[in-house]
Amino acid sequence: MKEREARGQESGDKWEVQLRKGCLELAILAGLWDGRRYGLEILRRLESDSDLIVSEGTVYPLLSRLKALGLVRSEWVESDAGHPRKYYGLTSAGRRRAIEMAGIWMQFSSSMGELLVPLAPLAKENR
């Protein structure tokens, strides 16, 4: 019985990881909405504003992919700390994509929220 519970927990953990990964592109675009940021600022913003705790090894390849898609631009800027930092910002295509993705997310999360209403009290107890 404990083995089955452990497998169920492991499966749930994997599901949560996949859910968070699926949201990461939108989270990065949204995190850049109000201006450019360098990599560590992006990581901190994701952690503080969305509870998405991700590593540099996850974020930087995604930023490179978003740049290749023309959704993000980057530039090196000298910093007061003595070494240059690479800043990322949204392109106009990135802003359009962020708006599109936000609309899809809001519709999806609203629908899921309605579906999950009967489970809400139980889910709160279980967290």
10-64 pLDDT, tens digit per residue, is: 666 788 888 888 899 999 999 999 999 999 999 999 999 988 888 889 999 999 9
In CATH terms, the fold of domain 2-126 is Arc Repressor Mutant, subunit A (1.10.10)
Half-sphere exposure of residue 85, counting CA atoms within 13 Å on the CB side? 14
pTM to 2 decimals? 0.83
CB 90 within 8 A of CB 53: no
pLDDT of residue 12: 64
pLDDT of residue 10: 66
What is the pLDDT of the chain when averaged over all its residues? Answer: 89
87-118 pLDDT, tens digit per residue, is: 999 999 999 999 999 999 999 999 999 999 99
pLDDT at 86 over 70: yes
Tell which residue, 20, 16, 17, 58, has the closest CA to residue 39. Answer: 58
pLDDT of residue 43: 93
pLDDT of residue 126: 74
Q: Residue 79 has which token pair? A: 């910093």
Q: In angstroms, rounded to a whole number, what is the distance separating the alpha carbons of residues 100 and 49?
A: 20
Q: Specify the DSSP class assigned to residue 35.
A: S
With b meaning 16 or more CB within 10 Å and e meaning fewer, what string describes 14-32? eeeeeebeebbbbbbbbbb
* Strands of the sheet with 72-77, listed across from one edge: 37-38, 85-90, 72-77
